[in-house]
């Protein structure tokens, strides 16, 4: 097994990765709240932890990867106020909340497939773990770190902070939080404004509510991750990941909840990816610059100069280290598009090279450099630059300035296939896109035959073609100067 080093947010340093029960690894990552289309902000955690999942498996670990779906309890404001995000969408669209959840979960999965993100081992829903969440609350209450008031249960941050340290993960200090939140302390029933809800009593019109010994209500958002991570990975597990935007309050509250309930910290290594910006600005729905992945792939957004292939996006993200900031712009994406092409072209050249008796290039050294970079806290940016160096060597062999023997050639092919396709996952959807393009061209061709038939007044053939394509789910619209089609 390779020595893998990982930056641990809670200790703020790189540590040698030592799982609790090797070769098994438990990995938990906060997934999406499914109330809208996935956008660029969703891609970085998805791809970062997909890379981690793939790499850990590649170096021999047996990984159980849990990525949750939040479908209840995520309110509009972090201060336990506002409407539930799912319920709000259901109200506006006049749907059942679970219809909203199913629809956007399906859309999210489709986008993840396009990005060649592997499916997690378990994908639990918060709404499917209400009983477990209630049990967890009871433990926290029993241990004295929560209080009930008017049918709601809140976490007692001040009490917890006496025995443990609240703010350990994010580096915040309770005293600062006190002065920050004092002004906001209005009509709240909480003892302190920084206390957070474990269970909220629901108003009668609230759509999603469950009975409990405290009230008919719903769990607080932070609770589900403490509960589902320990349920599926054990009271102590290896890695917890998510975007850095979740560090506070979400993950800080998770640390507090798990410690309060279990008497010990659950997570060995906390791992956070940095955020993405768009043309140098923070991205968000409320800022009007959140581009959905569908818009991104179709190019149908005013900020996009063209459509971008999912693999361009994937490569763009992998070209930066996951802890550095990453700015989306048309220029940067087009550079990534060219960069990926250069890498894949180099691999095509590699497949064509004929071996010689001796080698002028050092494949072992290149391989070691690639692993060294990956083992250094998943430095995909550095690994890709080594792979580019290798492409230069490959091109020099192709142009007759160097040579490679049979053994080295096979090793080099293996290295590129396992890094570019296996670890970086830069393959399948590209082929899928090729197929998509091909079927598009075939439909055009058939419809041109149909036009030809119409011109020859062979309306039966024209009609047959239309009916057959309709059956396949292809809708045809005749235009004055030709046709339009779309897949239903």
H helix intervals, 143-204? 157-163, 174-181
Could you give the angle at the alpha carbon of 295 between the alpha carbons of 35 and 98, nearest 5°?
A: 20
Contact window for Zn ion (CB under 5 A) among 102-110, 162-170, 219-227, 463-471: 219-227
Closest to Zn ion by CB, 30 vs 378, is 30
Q: How far is the CB of 288 from Zn ion (least distance, A)?
A: 26
* Separation between Cα atoms, residue 256 and residue 237, nearest integer Å: 16
Contact window for Zn ion (CB under 5 A) among 28-36, 80-88, 91-99, 339-347: 28-36
Q: Exactly one of 86, 225, 253, 469 binds Zn ion (CB under 5 A); which one?
A: 225
Q: Could you identify the residue written with the tokens 């010689």?
A: 356
Closest CA to 42 of 129, 94, 114: 114
Q: Exactly one of 6, 29, 30, 126 binds Zn ion (CB under 5 A); which one?
A: 30
Region of 444 on the Ramachandran plot (φ > 0 left; ψ -120 to 50 alpha; else beta): alpha
Closest to Zn ion by CB, 193 vs 242, is 242
Contact window for Zn ion (CB under 5 A) among 76-84, 178-186, 225-233, 320-328: 225-233
Q: How far is the CB of 225 from Zn ion (least distance, A)?
A: 3
Closest to Zn ion by CB, 4 vs 35, is 35
* Separation between Cα atoms, residue 70 and residue 32, nearest integer Å: 6
Contact window for Zn ion (CB under 5 A) among 27-35, 126-134, 202-210, 400-408: 27-35
Q: How far is the CB of 286 from Zn ion (least distance, A)?
A: 21
Q: How far is the CB of 66 from Zn ion (least distance, A)?
A: 11
Q: How far is the CB of 296 from Zn ion (least distance, A)?
A: 25
Closest to Zn ion by CB, 201 vs 222, is 222
Closest CA to 387 of 432, 352, 421: 421
Closest to Zn ion by CB, 246 vs 343, is 246
Structure tokens at 90: 């259901």
Q: How far is the CB of 242 from Zn ion (least distance, A)?
A: 6
Q: How far is the CB of 228 from Zn ion (least distance, A)?
A: 9
Residues with Cβ within 8 Å of residue 6, at least 6 apart in sequence: 14, 15, 17, 239, 269, 271, 377, 378
Contact window for Zn ion (CB under 5 A) among 98-106, 184-192, 224-232, 319-327: 224-232
* Separation between Cα atoms, residue 487 and residue 475, nearest integer Å: 6
88 by Cβ neighbours in 10 Å (0-12 / 13-18 / 19+) ranks as: middle
Closest to Zn ion by CB, 30 vs 157, is 30
Give yes or no for a cis peptide into 249 (omega within 30° of 0).
Answer: yes
Q: How far is the CB of 29 from Zn ion (least distance, A)?
A: 8
Task: Output phi, psi for 439, to 5 deg.
Answer: -65, -35
The number of helices, as runs of H, and strands, as runs of E, in the chain is 16, 15
Helix (H, G, I), strand (E, B) or coil at 484: strand
Closest to Zn ion by CB, 271 vs 447, is 271
Contact window for Zn ion (CB under 5 A) among 126-134, 220-228, 272-280, 404-412: 220-228
Kindly state the helix (H) or strand (E) to which residue 271 belongs, with its residue range. Answer: strand 267-273
Q: How far is the CB of 207 from Zn ion (least distance, A)?
A: 22
* Separation between Cα atoms, residue 343 and residue 370, nearest integer Å: 15
Contact 403, 397 (CB under 8 A): yes
Closest to Zn ion by CB, 30 vs 293, is 30
H helix intervals, 235-281? 252-262
Closest to Zn ion by CB, 77 vs 431, is 77
Q: How far is the CB of 223 from Zn ion (least distance, A)?
A: 9
HSE value, Cβ hemisphere, 13 Å, CA-based, for 367: 15
Task: Count the site residues for Zn ion by CB under 5 A.
Answer: 2
Closest to Zn ion by CB, 221 vs 308, is 221
Contact window for Zn ion (CB under 5 A) among 205-213, 223-231, 370-378, 474-482: 223-231
- Contact residues toward Zn ion (CB under 5 A) are 30, 225
């Amino acid at each position: 097994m390779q020595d893998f080093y990982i930056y641990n947010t809670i200790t703020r340093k790189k540590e040698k990765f030592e799982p609790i029960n090797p070769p098994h690894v438990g990995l938990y990552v906060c997934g999406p709240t499914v109330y809208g289309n996935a956008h660029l902000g969703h891609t970085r955690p998805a791809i970062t932890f997909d890379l981690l999942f793939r790499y850990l498996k590649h170096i021999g670990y047996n990984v159980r990867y849990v990525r949750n779906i939040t479908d209840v309890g995520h309110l509009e404001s972090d201060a336990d106020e506002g409407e539930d995000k799912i319920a709000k969408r259901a109200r506006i669209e006049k749907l059942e909340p679970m219809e909203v959840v199913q629809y956007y979960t399906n859309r999210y999965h489709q986008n993840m497939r396009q990005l060649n993100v592997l499916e997690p081992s378990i994908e639990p829903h918060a709404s499917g773990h209400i009983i477990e969440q209630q049990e967890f609350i009871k433990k926290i209450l029993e241990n004295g770190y929560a209080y009930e008031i008017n049918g709601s249960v809140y976490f007692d941050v001040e009490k917890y902070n006496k025995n443990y340290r609240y703010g350990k993960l994010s580096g915040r200090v309770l005293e600062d939080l006190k002065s920050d939140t004092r002004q906001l302390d209005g009509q709240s029933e909480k003892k302190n404004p920084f206390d957070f809800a474990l269970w909220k009593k629901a108003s009668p019109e609230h759509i999603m509510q469950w009975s409990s010994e405290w009230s008919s209500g719903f769990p607080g958002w932070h609770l589900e991750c403490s509960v589902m991570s320990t349920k599926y990975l054990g009271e102590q597990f290896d890695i917890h990941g998510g975007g850095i935007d979740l560090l506070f309050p979400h993950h800080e509250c998770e640390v507090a909840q798990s410690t309060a309930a279990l008497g010990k910290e659950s997570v060995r290594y906390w791992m956070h990816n940095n955020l993405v910006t768009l043309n140098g600005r923070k991205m968000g729905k409320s800022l009007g610059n959140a581009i959905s992945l569908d818009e991104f792939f179709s190019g149908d957004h005013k900020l996009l100069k063209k459509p971008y292939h999912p693999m361009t996006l994937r490569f763009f993200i992998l070209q930066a280290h996951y802890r550095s900031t990453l700015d989306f712009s048309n220029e940067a994406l087009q550079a990534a598009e060219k960069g990926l092409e250069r890498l894949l072209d180099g691999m095509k050249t590699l497949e064509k090279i004929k071996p010689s008796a001796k080698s002028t290039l050092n494949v072992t050294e290149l391989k070691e450099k690639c692993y060294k970079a990956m083992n250094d806290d998943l430095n995909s940016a550095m690994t890709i630059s080594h792979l580019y160096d290798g492409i230069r060597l490959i091109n020099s062999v192709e142009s007759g300035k160097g040579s490679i023997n049979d053994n080295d050639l096979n090793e080099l092919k293996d290295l590129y296939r396992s890094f570019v396709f296996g670890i970086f996952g830069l393959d399948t959807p590209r082929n899928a896109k090729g197929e998509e393009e091909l079927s598009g061209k075939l439909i055009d061709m058939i419809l041109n035959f149909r036009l030809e038939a119409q011109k020859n007044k062979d309306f039966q053939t024209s009609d047959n073609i239309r009916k057959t394509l309709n059956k396949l789910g292809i809708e045809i619209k005749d235009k004055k100067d030709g046709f339009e089609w779309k897949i239903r």
